[in-house]
Amino acid sequence: MNSLRNKVQLIGHLGNNPEIVNLEKGNKLAKFSIATNESYKNSKGETIKETQWHNLIAWGKTAEIIEKYLQKGNEVAIEGKLVNKNYDDKDGNKRYVTEIVVNELLMLGGKK
């Protein structure tokens, strides 16, 4: 049990072109989302397809690769960890955000 950790693996398609933020000292941040699809048959035998959207961020060299090579529709495999954040919006309401911080990225086929 000591080897268990916060780890996420996904394969999906980019929903939009990545947003790249240039930070101080030349560091980069990439923000993007991918869609994963799952299919199953309901009690009537109909195939149901569900799409889940996942918000991802990547830093440094990984962000540079994303900026250079990825665009909307590309299929990728990622490995990362879940990060939960919260903040107060302009109206004072508490908001919660779950993101995946990408540690590894593998570019798969072309556009869907």
Count other Cβ atoms within 10 Å, centred on residue 102: 22
What integer is the mean pLDDT of 74-94? 94
What integer is the mean pLDDT of 58-62? 95
Fold topology of 8-111: OB fold (Dihydrolipoamide Acetyltransferase, E2P) (2.40.50)
pLDDT at 101 exceeding the cut of 80: yes
**Tokens at residue 65, please?**
């690769």
Average pLDDT, the chain: 92
pLDDT at 96 exceeding the cut of 70: yes
Q: Name which of 76, 98, 84 is nearest 10 in CA terms.
A: 76
Count other Cβ atoms within 10 Å, centred on residue 11: 13
Give the confidence band of 68 by pLDDT, cuts at 50, 70, 90. Answer: very high
What integer is the mean pLDDT of 46-68? 95
Ramachandran angles phi, psi of 8, nearest 5°: -130, 135
**Tokens at residue 16, please?**
């939009």
- pLDDT in the model for residue 53: 97
Which pTM value belongs to this model?
A: 0.82
- pLDDT in the model for residue 99: 96
What integer is the mean pLDDT of 4-31? 93
